[in-house]
A = this chain, B = another copy of it.
Amino acid sequence: MAISLSDIAERAGVSVKTVSGALHGGSARMSDDTRQKVKAIAEELGYVTNLAARGVRQGWLPLVGVISDGLITSPFATEIVRGLDGAARSAGMAVFAVNHSSGQSIGSVIDEVQQFRPRAVAYAAMYHKDVDLPPAVAGSVGVMINCREASGRVTSLVPDEEGGAREIVRYLLAAGRRRIAFINLPGILAGTLREKGFRAALEGAGINPLVVVPAVRRSVYSDRAPSLVAGHVEALLATGQRPDAILCGNDRVAMEVYAALARAGLRIPDDVAVASFDNQVELASRLDPPLTTMALPHRAMGRLAMEILLAGEPEPPRLRKLPFHLVERASV
Contacts and interface: CB of A to CB of B under 8 A. Distances in A.
A237 interface: no
Given A52-B55, A52-B61, A89-B99, A286 B115 contact: no
A288 B259 contact: yes
A168 interface: no
Interface stretch (A43-51, A177-185, A196-204): A43-51
Contacts of A115: 48-51
Interface string A283-296: 10111100000000
A223 B281 contact: yes
Contacts of A94: 96, 98, 112-113, 116
Interface string A42-74: 000000111111011001110100000001111
Copies in the complex: 2
A85 B99 contact: yes
Contact of A48 (B60, B78, B111): B111
Given A98-B85, A99-B85, A2 B59 contact: yes
A95 interface: yes
B73 A78 contact: yes
A223 B285 contact: yes
Chain A interface residue count: which class?
35 or more
Given A78-B72, A85-B98, A286 B223 contact: yes
Contacts of A116: 51-52, 61, 63, 94
Contacts of A96: 63, 94-97
A2 B56 contact: no
Given A223-B281, A286-B255, A72 B63 contact: no
Contacts of A114: 2, 48
Contacts of A230: 288
Contacts of A53: 56
Contact of A262 (B2, B55, B111, B263): B263
A328 B98 CA distance: 32
Given A52-B52, A288-B259, A59 B1 contact: yes
18 contacts: A50-B117, A51-B115, A52-B56, A55-B55, A55-B56, A56-B56, A72-B78, A77-B78, A82-B99, A85-B99, A86-B99, A94-B96, A94-B113, A95-B96, A96-B97, A97-B97, A230-B288, A262-B262
A-B pairs with the 5 shortest C-beta distances?
A52-B55, A96-B96, A75-B75, A53-B56, A51-B115
Given A73-B78, A256-B286, A283-B283, 15 more contacts: A50-B56, A50-B115, A51-B117, A52-B56, A53-B56, A72-B78, A72-B82, A75-B78, A77-B78, A82-B99, A85-B98, A85-B99, A95-B97, A224-B285, A280-B282
